[in-house]
């Protein structure tokens, strides 16, 4: 009797775990190329959406940077790079070139690196629903968003959060 009871409990546990796994909604990826910060760069925001909840987020921004002082995107030193109007510059990731870019930000009074700013924004949206993010953007202006995200002190937090929203909407469309 004792062995039968243990077997039944084990089987119930296994089936419960299996049913929960099968019931989980799939994760869908969404991406947005976005003009989040001025006209001299572009952001790429990616979200992983499960149901209507953002469960993962990634943000980077690309800008023309001095070729001699930074690392360009792949092939910027080959034929792709020959298409750039200024041969002294290459398209580069702000995350990859965080130290260089952040040094420029310190001149404006920033004490947080660009990579850490982006990380704070990524962490901020994880766990939010698309509707919550949309409501946040609707109910707050650009200035209010500067201080809304702990650890992110960028003047264009609003633009970056809007990029995440666009990426989430892209995921929902799939």
91-125, pLDDT tens digit by residue?
Answer: 999 999 999 999 999 998 899 999 999 999 999 99
pLDDT single digits (tens) 5-53: 454 455 556 655 555 555 699 999 999 999 999 999 999 999 999 999 9
- Note the pLDDT of residue 108: 86
pTM, two decimal places: 0.86
- Note the pLDDT of residue 21: 53
Picking from 120, 70, 127, the residue whose alpha carbon sits closest to that of residue 93 is 70
Owner of token pair 């979200």: 47
State mean pLDDT over 152-171: 97
CB-based contact 51:25 (threshold 8 Å):
yes
């Amino acid at each position: 009797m004792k062995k039968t009871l243990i077997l039944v409990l084990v089987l119930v546990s296994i089936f419960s775990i299996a049913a929960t796994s099968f019931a989980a909604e799939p994760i869908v990826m969404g991406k947005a190329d976005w003009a989040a910060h001025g006209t001299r760069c572009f952001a790429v925001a990616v979200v992983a959406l499960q149901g209507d909840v953002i469960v993962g987020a990634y943000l980077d921004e690309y800008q023309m940077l001095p070729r001699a002082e930074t690392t360009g995107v792949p092939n910027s030193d080959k034929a792709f790079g020959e298409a750039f109007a200024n041969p002294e510059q290459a398209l580069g990731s702000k995350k990859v070139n965080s130290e260089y870019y952040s040094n420029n930000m310190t001149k404006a009074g920033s004490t947080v690196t660009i990579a850490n700013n982006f990380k704070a924004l990524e962490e901020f949206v994880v766990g939010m629903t698309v509707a919550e993010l949309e409501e946040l953007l609707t109910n707050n202006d650009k200035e209010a968003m500067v201080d809304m995200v702990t650890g992110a002190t960028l003047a264009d937090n609003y633009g970056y959060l809007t990029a995440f929203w666009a990426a989430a909407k892209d995921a929902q469309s799939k």
